[in-house]
Amino acid sequence: MKIMGENINMSNHLRKGIIIFAVAILIGAIISIGIYAGIIDEYTAHIITFGAINVIIALSLNLISGFTGQLALGHAGFMAVGAYTTAVLIMQYNVPLLIAIIIGGIVTAFFGLLIGFPTLRLRGDYLAIVTLGFGEIIRVTMVYLEKLTGGAAGLKGVPAFTTVIELRPTLSFVWVYCFLVIVIILISNLIKSSPGRAIISVREDEIASNAMGINVFYYKMLAFVLSAFIAGIGGGLYAPFYRYLNPTSFNFMKSIDFIIIVVLGGMGSITGTIISGFVVTYLQEFLRFLEDFRLVIYALVLILMMLFRPTGLMGNKEFSITNLFAKIKNLLPPKDVTKEGADQ
């Protein structure tokens, strides 16, 4: 009973935070124990971890394209910058993994700043064109910077998350999962705040948002740099996970993959991106037997989606754990009242 009383006194916000935290740990623990105990085989674990990396990068793309309304076509480029920076830092400068990943994110954010500064002042499709060019420039640069990146042959032997082979699938997942949870929390915190509303207002109507005292350029930059940072982190996680980096794996089609995830999940929905990120990653593996024909399946799925649900899987709606708890609570009979009644 004492615990109950304290619970009621606890602020609503704190309780919500604890519920989200508990659910996140629970999901993470179940999957990692499953992987460790061999219930989830190594191949599936690989897909889940890879899916989580894709979700991180797709979320970063959703931040700029879905929430801010600025189409970006070069997120594979950002991913590449993060991945190569992290790999080079670990391999040549012996930087600890966590720090290398974060520096990778910061370097990528710097590139975001560089691209965003001239292009985000303009309205329309300029950002799309410039980011598209940027992605290709990065890819070609990686081919020519042979000393650092291994050139066209690729960068081999990036150290994995752990040297213990038996623990590798589990620890890879735990690393990526922790970052995924942090990214989800940060983005949803941002979106449900005043700066987040400012960002969304830019998508809705730039002129009106300007007239409401919102520095449109600043908030576009904020969203874009943050987006680049997160994409860089995603790339930084990809390097020790995949352990081999090749410029061709960061081509334009890779950027399109992220756009497909965002569009299928719903522009402006975090939950939509998470679901479609895992589904698309699984489909990529599942449809491997079709070889090049799987691209036809993507196109088909996209066309069907545009016909029957043009807003994407979730539209701009979100699925909320705390709301779910509230609903379940409402469904259950009010226990305490009946108990007290019985006592009397």
Q: Is 209 in the site for other proteins (CB under 8 A)?
A: yes
Q: Is 9 in the site for other proteins (CB under 8 A)?
A: no
Q: Is 216 in the site for other proteins (CB under 8 A)?
A: yes
| Of the candidate residues 41, 42, 146, 205, the single one contacting other proteins (CB under 8 A) | 205
Q: Using the rule CB under 8 A, give the single segment among 10-18, 272-280, 288-296, 298-306 that binds other proteins.
A: 10-18
The pattern of x and - marking residues 71 through 100 that bind other proteins according to CB under 8 A reads ------------------------------
The pattern of x and - marking residues 166 through 195 that bind other proteins according to CB under 8 A reads --------------------x--xx--xxx
Structure tokens that stand for 212 in this block: 């409401």
Residue 62, C-beta contacts closer than 8 angstroms, at least 6 positions apart: 187, 262, 265, 267, 268, 269, 270, 273
Q: Is 48 in the site for other proteins (CB under 8 A)?
A: no
Number of helices followed by number of strands (H, E) in the chain: 16, 0
Structure tokens that stand for 172 in this block: 């890879």
Q: Identify the CA nearest to 318 among candidates 188, 200, 210.
A: 188
Q: How far is CA 154 from the centre of its chain?
A: 25
In the complex, least distance from residue 11 CB atom to other proteins, rounded to whole angstroms: 8
In the complex, least distance from residue 213 CB atom to other proteins, rounded to whole angstroms: 4
In the complex, least distance from residue 217 CB atom to other proteins, rounded to whole angstroms: 9
Strand partners, 245: 155
The pattern of x and - marking residues 262 through 301 that bind other proteins according to CB under 8 A reads ----------------------------------------
Give the whole-angstrom CA distance, residue 51 versus residue 281: 5
| Of the candidate residues 141, 162, 210, 322, the single one contacting other proteins (CB under 8 A) | 210
> How would DSSP label each residue in 91-121?
HHH---HHHHHHHHHHHHHHHHHHHHHHHTT
Give the whole-angstrom CA distance, residue 314 versus residue 312: 6
Residue 4, C-beta contacts closer than 8 angstroms, at least 6 positions apart: 336
Structure tokens that stand for 289 in this block: 């037997």
The pattern of x and - marking residues 306 through 335 that bind other proteins according to CB under 8 A reads ----------x-------------------
At residue 68, the 3 state secondary structure works out as: coil
Q: Using the rule CB under 8 A, give the single segment among 44-52, 75-83, 206-214, 269-277 that binds other proteins.
A: 206-214
Q: Which residues bind other proteins (CB under 8 A)?
A: 11, 13, 17, 186, 189-190, 193-198, 200-201, 204-205, 207-216, 222, 316
